[in-house]
Structure 1
Amino acid sequence: MARLIADGSSASGYGGGGSGGAIALNITHLTGHGIAQTNGGAGTSSYGGGGSGGRIAVYVTESTKYEGSFQAIGGSGYGSGLTPHGGPGSVYFHESRFGYPYHKLFIDNVDRSWDHYFTIDEPGERSEYFDEIHLTSSASLHLPNDGVPRQLTINKLYGDKTGLITVHGNQQYTIDHRENSKTTLKAPVNFKLEKNSTAFIATTFDIIGSGVPAFDWNGRLVGVQNLRIAPGREVLIRESAHTALIVDDNYEYIDVPGEFRFVHLEFGALTNVAFPPPLGVRFKVGFLDMKWGSQLTAEYFEIYSSDLHLEPIALWKCPGEDSQMGDLVRLL
């Protein structure tokens, strides 16, 4: 079994581990069961941090029937916490499918902290595209948070529900979204949309990430008609969150911050959706479906809905006071 190893060195004394190296393969056919590895080195048990994972890039011009493994993880650091460990590296595949290039990116964080972001930062590039991105074991992904307008397009997103995608201000992400077409994204990661960010998401968006919260929303969500929150998830909606819709390359509407439109909005059993004080909620929704034990918390509610379904012990929690007595809850 072939082995390609470019690991970072482990530390001695009080040092930190070395970063993983790089492996680049340019080949016609990829087959076999070998191992390619660029892991970070371990830090010392008392003081040293782990080295970051390295990079693996595989360029295949014709076919791939490989059943081996690729690994680019950070080295272990001192102590029992999650942050002293090295950040993840990456495994990138550039393949050819039906004569067209096909791009895949794999990030594995070995169940360490989301603080160890993997940053997509190609020199001179402000727009990135991947056919597939795979985030596993608490891998977190973002573009540089430097205020520069940037775009990331992901055609298909894969993961184990532990990863995190963060969209910073002045950035636009497009994930499984095709204008004027119906698509579905059962998002196997957690999301964070910061203020002044924009995310174009599939027509039907299922929030199934296992993080707390599974969705931290403070930006613009575009194109989602059906939002479904899986049972037991937590969603935090902040002051700049809102929805929008584009038809034929033009915005049909852009809601003001704090207002949301959906055809179907479903809160799964035991979900918790919160608007931090002093925020209220204004929903325009065709069918609002709150399952058993779900909870919606805000300072006030204005809900315009054609159909409303509340299961036992579903709760609207309204702890604050509106500007006018009697306007705390409005159903229209």
Structure 2
Amino acid sequence: MNTKTFSRLSKLVAPLSMAATMVLSLSTQASAISLANIFEYNLFVLGDVNQSNTDSEGKVAIAGNATFTNFYAGMELPKEGNNGDVLIVGDNLIFSNGQVRGNTVYGETAELTNVTLQNGGTLRQDNPIDFAAASQELRGLSQFWAGLEATGTTDIADRGITLNGSNENQNIFHLSASDLREASSFNLNVASGSTAIVNISGLEASLQNFRFNINGGIDQRQKVIYNFYEATNLSASGIGIEGSILAPTATFNFNNAQINGNLIAASLTGGGQSNNYLFNGNLPELIRAPQASEAVPEPATLAGLGLVAAVGIASRRKDKHKV
């Protein structure tokens, strides 16, 4: 296998049949990214990622180093036209055997072997996302949601968890990681189209071998988000997660599992699959928690403060079999 080092390369059109290592000086500044835009990424990881033999149906953004083997980024994005930056890695990228349905962007170095960039995708060195600012924003949002008072009821019996919410707009629930660890089923009953935020306490959390039952039809999972606001270690196996995960301080071990929603974590390992059912919950009454130096703002929509806006990404509507 030949490896070539380039002193200057602005773009590379796929397919790439040999390893290519690029070490270039950055000339662009990272841009701030709103939470609305963060939720456009199927995977958004604030540290390092190591995944193999799997895919992300949507866009991927990694703040640290990324190692991919037999991986497909953007598998369910449109097959025609320009999908833009589909894979963004803030530091070093090592990628063997895979495909990206759009552009690949790296911050420090990139080594690609047998990787095809589809839809006219290019490879470039750039720094399009301010990941440090995104991390601060996501951690603040996670803690803010955790402080909200529950509006729905939680029933736990015979290892089954049932959440019931009657608010037609948004429903807030609280669980502990130990509740999930012992669960044999998870049932969510809210009005169709309403948003559900499930706050989960605990430093260690696992999702394993139980089924999610969410009423309201197939699109309802795009209104559900699980907020692991304390977790430093999170694992999932033998499960199909219905909804999105916000775990900005958690190392996520993701194996033999899939998520039908956004996955936001501090770091990620394993062969779990990410399906592009992006969170588009409606949260009009929530406002950003003010900083100590700021005056308390007048009530406003979350989207108006740049925290969350409805995400209108067109995604595949075929339902996948549960793991």
Name the TM-score, length of structure 2 as normaliser: 0.28
Relative contact order (alpha carbons < 8 A, sep ≥ 6): 1 or 2 greater?
2
Larger Rg computed on CA atoms: 1
Higher share in helix? 2
